[in-house]
Structure formats: C-alpha cells, structure tokens
C-alpha cells in the first residue's frame, strides 16, 4: 500500500506534502531519473528553482511519469523559485514562463522569491564584480517584486506564493504590503541550525517553514575537508541506532515532527527511498530534546557573495 504522506496546511487552506525531493546541486544528467525514481517510490512533491539550471530535466522526469500513467499533474506538488536577477517587476512574469516551459507545466503549485537580494539584471545568473568575490547588485526592492508575484496568482499561473531565505523583518515588510500573503518561508534548517526565533515568527504569522539542507548539505560545492559534518555527529548516531535507522532518516523525521516541510536531496535511488522511509517510527521527547541541543548556529549556505547588499538576510538578522 502506498505511504500516505502527511500534508502541511497553508494559511489559505491549500496544502503541501511534508516531504519532497530537493534538486539543488544535483548533477546534470541524473536529475530526470531521480525525479522518476522519487515518483515511483511515492514522493508527490518536487522542489526546484531556475537557478539550479536543471528544471528541463525535472520536467522530463515529471512528463515521463505522467505519460506512463503513474501520476496525473494534480497528483504532484511542484515548487520553483524566482531568481535574484529577475526581481525587477517587468521581468517577473517572463521568468516564471521560462520555468513553466522548462518544467513542461501550465502552472506551479508554489512559487517562491528565492532570496530577498536582487542582482544585476541580464543573462548572467551570477553576475560577479571584477574581484570575483561579490555579486553585482540591483537596487530593486523585494516588496515591489512581491506585487508582481501576486499577479501570477491572479493569472492562474501559480497556486501559492511564498519566500525563501527571508528574515523576520523582511517577512513583515512583505506582509505589510501583501494583498496575497506568503504561505511559506523556505530556509536552511537542521539540527545544527534551528533558526528557532524565525521559525516561531513564521508560525505566528501563518507561514509554513520548509527546511532545506536538512542533512547539513554535505555535498555543497564550497565544502572544505575539515568542515563539520552533521551526519557524522556521534549523538545523532546514538539516536539512529536506538531506532534502527540511518542518521539521515532521523534528521528528516526530526523536521517533520517540528512541523516543517522537508526537502532532502539525492540522485541515488536507494537513498531517495531511504529518505522517504520516515513514517513508520516516531522520535520521543528525549530524542527531540537531544537533537535540539545539537544547535551550533552553523549556517552551511551563507550566500557570502551577496554580503554588503542592503537586503542581505543574514548580515543584520533580526
């Protein structure tokens, strides 16, 4: 029997599966198969973004599983994100339409503003200054971008809109102008970085938290060999052994029990299946307490090259 995936309910009454397949940093040529494998295993939520530069492969995977009758379009929840070079109001709809074309879809279930920071408009997704250390910024304000996101809902191109990597003050600024409120904030969240104050703020304001890098992003492109590895934490291993589970499964289950949507990434079929096998056990109060105590304020995705931007979410975080 297929696993019944719990769903988080958005403030507008719509819902999202609490586990999805992440596709950031997935190697080219492997993404379509990963999506097909995930859908066969039971995933009904795929998280993607224009900046990952693999949405055409995600689209191929979804199309193959729709064509063979495994799923209908309405069975799968697809999220994408507006990239930082398309914040200027006149570019927002066009950026979405490129994403829809790549994904071979007529609408998205959720569209997020990927970051509150805007970069120089143009063909370069990552426009760098001559020193190669920082991006070239644009002065577009994300609250103006948000008003264009709302029009995408009006047009039936997206069902829900939200934000990603926003701090509490930035969320409040959006709420202050919003005609259609953001339904979620996708943020880095794992046992070394709980962002508890921000998560509580989101809950208070009616935004669901989606946790990215729930395993501590061990394959991030800028990882150094002496960096701390969450999956190797001895206390985590003790909890995993207690339940007869993998450390990754404990970390994914942890996010779900915190009430967060969680999007672990893998292109390996066995791992995609293992990451999904988190509904047959429960962490007890002591497990949750021990995992909470692993907090180190360890941010693995700091977006250093955007430091200095007036809207950088982590420099003057509230």
Reported as half-sphere exposure (CB side, CA atoms, 13 A), residue 64 has a value of 16
For the packed helices 247-257 and 269-276, what is the interaxial angle rounded to 10 degrees?
40
Distance CA 234, CA 59 (A): 39
Q: 52, 119, 142, 212: which one is catalytic? A: 52
Distance CA 82, CA 99 (A): 9
Distance CA 91, CA 114 (A): 15
H-state helical runs in the chain: 31-41, 55-67, 92-103, 142-154, 168-177, 196-205, 234-243, 247-257, 269-276, 285-292
C-alpha dist (Å) from residue 108 to 76, 91, 97, 100: 10, 17, 10, 7
Closest CA to 201 of 244, 235, 246, 171: 171
Strand partners, 204: none
To which residue do tokens 């999805």 refer?
A: 20
Distance CA 211, CA 225 (A): 25
Distance CA 96, CA 117 (A): 18
Q: Is 192 a catalytic residue?
A: no
CB 303 within 8 A of CB 312: yes
Closest CA to 144 of 177, 170, 179, 166: 177
List residues with catalytic annotation: 52
């Amino acid at each position: 029997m297929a696993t019944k995936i719990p769903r988080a309910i958005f403030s507008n009454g719509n819902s999202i599966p609490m586990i999805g397949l992440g596709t950031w940093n997935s190697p080219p040529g492997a993404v379509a198969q990963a999506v097909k494998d995930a859908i066969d295993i039971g995933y009904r939520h795929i998280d993607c973004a224009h900046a990952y530069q693999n949405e055409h492969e995600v689209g191929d995977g979804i199309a193959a599983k729709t064509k063979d009758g495994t799923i209908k379009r309405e069975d799968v929840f697809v999220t994408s994100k507006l990239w930082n070079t398309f914040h200027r109001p006149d570019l927002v709809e066009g950026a979405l339409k490129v994403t829809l074309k790549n994904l071979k879809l007529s609408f998205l279930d959720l569209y997020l503003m990927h970051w509150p920071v805007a970069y120089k408009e143009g063909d370069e997704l990552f426009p760098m200054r001559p020193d190669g250390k920082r991006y070239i910024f644009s002065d577009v304000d994300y609250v103006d971008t948000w008003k264009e996101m709302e029009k995408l809902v009006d047009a039936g191109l997206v069902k829900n809109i939200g934000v990603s990597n926003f701090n509490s003050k930035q969320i409040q600024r959006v709420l202050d102008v919003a005609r259609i409120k953001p339904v979620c904030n996708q943020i880095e969240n794992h046992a070394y970085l709980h962002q508890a104050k921000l998560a509580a703020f989101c809950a208070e304001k009616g935004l669901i938290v989606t946790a990215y890098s729930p395993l501590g992003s061990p394959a991030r492109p800028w990882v150094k060999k002496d960096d701390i590895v969450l999956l190797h934490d001895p206390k985590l291993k003790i909890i995993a052994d207690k339940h007869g589970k993998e450390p990754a499964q404990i970390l994914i289950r942890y996010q779900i029990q915190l009430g967060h949507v969680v999007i672990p990434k893998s292109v390996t079929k066995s791992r995609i299946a293992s990451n999904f096998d988190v509904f047959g056990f429960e962490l007890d109060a002591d497990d949750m307490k021990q995992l909470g105590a692993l907090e180190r304020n360890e941010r693995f995705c700091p977006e250093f090259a955007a430091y200095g931007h007036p809207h950088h979410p982590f420099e003057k975080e509230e």
